């Protein structure tokens, strides 16, 4: 049975197929059409929203991975869509190249990461989809369509974040940069001081991120800058911070908090006591690849950068008013504005606020409240994370919404890549005999 990383989205009745070639992929698509089955393409299954929930066919491109070609003249790498970000990182590093930026982990597929607007942090750094120079789709009929600024430019503008609704992405041409090292500096601040300084820290450093620990006044800060300093040996201290504390010990604490939710405030204060300054240097693709072993559910909202601090203050007040039992820190990152139609960063530099809840603990009231606060601040949801918006809400917050719907209709007129969830997202009514 297929299920996502958090275990909350499952598709018990779906068939999962893993084609190994383009002809096999085309043949599976035609077969699904004949059987009137909906088709969803899965990457690493790390989305929290029900994008992959279906009774139809789930196509995995796990056998269609790898960096096919590097073109130094154009500064691009042609990458097969199922390739994991970690594999792209090491293949590029071997050639003295790198991706400009990554999110918090590197286990997603490149097509899955770009299709939901996955991002890292940095006021001058766009989400991963902005690193796309060109892409190749396969339609439900098995026809290939190319998209780049010079070829089908509307498909390029709208298709870089397409939620798997426009066809199967088979290849992505990625813009690459010369390999670089990053120095991470971790620090601790109190909440008010940190929010007062956050915008200037974001401007001063290549990347800045903060984590506020609920039930405390403590904030963990992280800044990253490009450096020529040598790579720090992976010593005991780093193992203790990154694996023992952030995964093993944190996992134990989360289990304890689930068993005794009233202990959350004291456990959170205990976690805050462990925050200590530190620094290390690493190749960029390894630096931006945190290991996340403790499973959770997550919601994330992009708000205009200048509204971020007020939104976070309101969220803190809401959490304290409701006394939710929370162990996971709230995460606060920056993303540069872009022109991708369904990008949460369309037309504006943004702050992203992420909220988490340990797997098995109730999150609905918490996430709903955060959603309401962020919507009041002009929020847009992360497509891969939990939200409860549907077409009527989304149309008002994505200026190019209607253009995307028209593009979807053109690319997939028979709705082969649609499911009931996507139909509600796009405001499309189900007709009888439509795939589900
Ligand atoms: C532990 C954890 C940490 C995370 N950290 C971050 C973070 O730092 N920043 C951030 O922004 N997000 C983060 N996310 C969210 C995650 O990056 C996104 O949900 C991303 O989409 C997952 O990639 P995936 O390969 O698992 O895609 P999936 O979840 O498998 O699929 C996502 C979407 O992409 C579509 N898709 C996949 N492959 C194709 C294809 N070949 N053609 C067409 N459509 C396709 C699917 O149909 C689906 O709609 C995190 C998630 C987890 C679980």
Q: Is the CB of 43 under 6 A from ligand 1?
A: yes
Q: What is the pLDDT of residue 245?
A: 76
Q: Is the CB of 40 under 6 A from ligand 1?
A: yes
CA of 334 to the centre of ligand 1 (A): 19
Q: What is the pLDDT of residue 288?
A: 86
Q: Is the CB of 116 under 6 A from ligand 1?
A: yes
Other C-beta atoms within 10 Å of 329: how many? 22
User: 218 near 272, Cβ under 8 Å?
Assistant: yes
How many angstroms separate the CA atoms of 66 and 20, rounded?
Answer: 12
* Collapsed DSSP state (helix, strand, coil) of residue 119: coil
How many angstroms separate the CA atoms of 255 and 295, rounded?
Answer: 11
Q: Is the CB of 46 under 6 A from ligand 1?
A: yes
Q: What is the pLDDT of residue 290?
A: 85
Listed in order, the ranges of the chain carrying CATH 3.30.465.10 are 67-178
382: which DSSP letter?
A: -
Task: Please give the model's pTM, rounded to 2 decimal places.
Answer: 0.96
How many angstroms separate the CA atoms of 56 and 207, rounded?
Answer: 41
Q: Which atom of ligand 1 is nearest to the CA of 384?
A: 19
User: 169 near 115, Cβ under 8 Å?
Assistant: yes
Give the tens place of pLDDT for each residue, 140-192: 999 999 999 999 999 999 999 999 999 999 999 999 999 999 999 999 999 99
* Collapsed DSSP state (helix, strand, coil) of residue 58: strand
Q: Is the CB of 113 under 6 A from ligand 1?
A: yes
CA of 117 to the centre of ligand 1 (A): 8
* Collapsed DSSP state (helix, strand, coil) of residue 298: strand
In angstroms, the first-to-last Cα distance of the chain is 17
Q: Report residue 436 as tokens.
A: 């589900």
| CA 183 to mean position of chain CA atoms | 23
Per-residue pLDDT at 433 exceeds 60:
no
CA of 66 to the centre of ligand 1 (A): 18
CA of 304 to the centre of ligand 1 (A): 23
Q: What is the mean pLDDT of residues 237-249?
A: 74
Residue 88, phi then psi, degrees to nearest 5: -65, -45
Q: Which atom of ligand 1 is nearest to the CA of 51?
A: 49
Given CATH 3.30.465.10, say whether it is the number of domain 67-178.
yes
- Dihedral Cα 423, 428, 434, 436, nearest 10 deg: 10
Q: What is the pLDDT of residue 58?
A: 98
H helix runs in 14-173, sequence order: 22-34, 85-93, 110-115, 153-159
How many angstroms separate the CA atoms of 116 and 130, rounded?
Answer: 12
Q: Is the CB of 50 under 6 A from ligand 1?
A: no
CA of 114 to the centre of ligand 1 (A): 7
Q: Whose CA is nearest to atom 27 of ligand 1?
A: 112
Q: Is the CB of 381 under 6 A from ligand 1?
A: no
To test ligand 1's pocket by mutation, which of 57, 65, 118, 387 has the most ligand atoms within 8 angstroms of CB?
Answer: 118
Listed in order, the ranges of the chain carrying CATH 3.40.462.10 are 181-381
Task: Look up the CATH number of domain 181-381.
Answer: 3.40.462.10
CA angle 226–230–233, rounded 5-degree value: 115
Give the tens place of pLDDT for each residue, 305-349: 999 999 999 999 999 999 999 999 999 999 999 999 999 999 999
How many angstroms separate the CA atoms of 383 and 102, rounded?
Answer: 17
Q: What is the pLDDT of residue 436?
A: 59
Q: Is the CB of 327 under 6 A from ligand 1?
A: no
Q: Which atom of ligand 1 is nearest to the CA of 115?
A: 34
109: which DSSP letter?
A: B
To test ligand 1's pocket by mutation, which of 288, 340, 384 has the most ligand atoms within 8 angstroms of CB?
Answer: 384
User: 300 near 385, Cβ under 8 Å?
Assistant: yes
């Amino acid at each position: 049975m297929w299920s996502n990383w958090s275990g909350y989205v499952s598709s018990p009745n779906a068939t999962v197929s893993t084609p190994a070639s383009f002809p096999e992929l085309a043949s599976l698509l035609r077969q699904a059409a004949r059987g009137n089955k909906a088709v969803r393409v899965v990457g690493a299954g790390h989305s929290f929203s029900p994008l992959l929930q279906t009774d139809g066919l789930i196509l995995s491109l796990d056998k269609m991975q790898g960096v096919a070609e590097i073109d130094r003249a154009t500064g691009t790498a042609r990458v097969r869509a199922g390739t994991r970000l970690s594999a792209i990182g090491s293949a590029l590093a071997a050639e003295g190249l790198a991706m400009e930026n990554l999110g918090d982990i590197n286990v997603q597929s490149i097509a899955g990461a770009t299709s939901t607007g996955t991002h890292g942090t940095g006021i001058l750094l766009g989400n991963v989809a902005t690193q796309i120079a060109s892409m190749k789709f396969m339609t439900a009929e098995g026809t290939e369509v190319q998209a780049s600024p010079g070829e089908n430019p509307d498909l390029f503008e709208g298709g870089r974040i397409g939620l798997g609704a426009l066809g199967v992405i088979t290849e992505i041409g990625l813009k690459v940069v010369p390999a670089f090292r990053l120095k991470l500096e971790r620090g601790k601040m109190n909440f008010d001081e940190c929010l007062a300084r956050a915008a200037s820290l974001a401007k001063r450093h290549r990347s800045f991120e903060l984590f506020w620990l609920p039930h405390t006044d403590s904030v963990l800060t992280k800044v990253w800058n490009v450096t020529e300093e040598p790579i720090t040996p992976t010593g005991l201290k780093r193992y203790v911070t990154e694996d023992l504390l952030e995964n093993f010990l944190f996992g134990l604490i989360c289990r304890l908090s689930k068993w005794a939710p009233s202990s959350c405030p004291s456990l959170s204060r205990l976690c805050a006591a462990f925050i200590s300054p530190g620094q290390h240097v690493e190749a960029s693709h390894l630096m931006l690849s945190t290991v996340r072993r403790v499973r959770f559910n997550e919601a994330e909202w992009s708000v205009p950068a200048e509204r971020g601090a007020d939104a976070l203050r309101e969220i803190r007040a809401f959490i304290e008013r409701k006394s939710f039992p929370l162990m996971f820190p709230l995460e606060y990152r920056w993303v540069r504005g872009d022109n991708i139609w369904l990008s949460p960063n369309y037309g504006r530099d943004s702050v992203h606020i992420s909220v988490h809840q340990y797997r098995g603990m109730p999150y609905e009231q918490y996430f709903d409240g955060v959603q309401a606060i962020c919507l009041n601040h002009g929020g847009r949801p992360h497509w891969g994370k939990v939200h409860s918006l549907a077409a009527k809400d989304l149309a008002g917050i994505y200026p190019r919404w209607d253009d995307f719907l028209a593009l979807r209709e053109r690319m997939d007129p028979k709705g082969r890549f649609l499911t009931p969830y996507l139909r509600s997202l796009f405001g499309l009514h189900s007709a009888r005999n439509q795939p589900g």
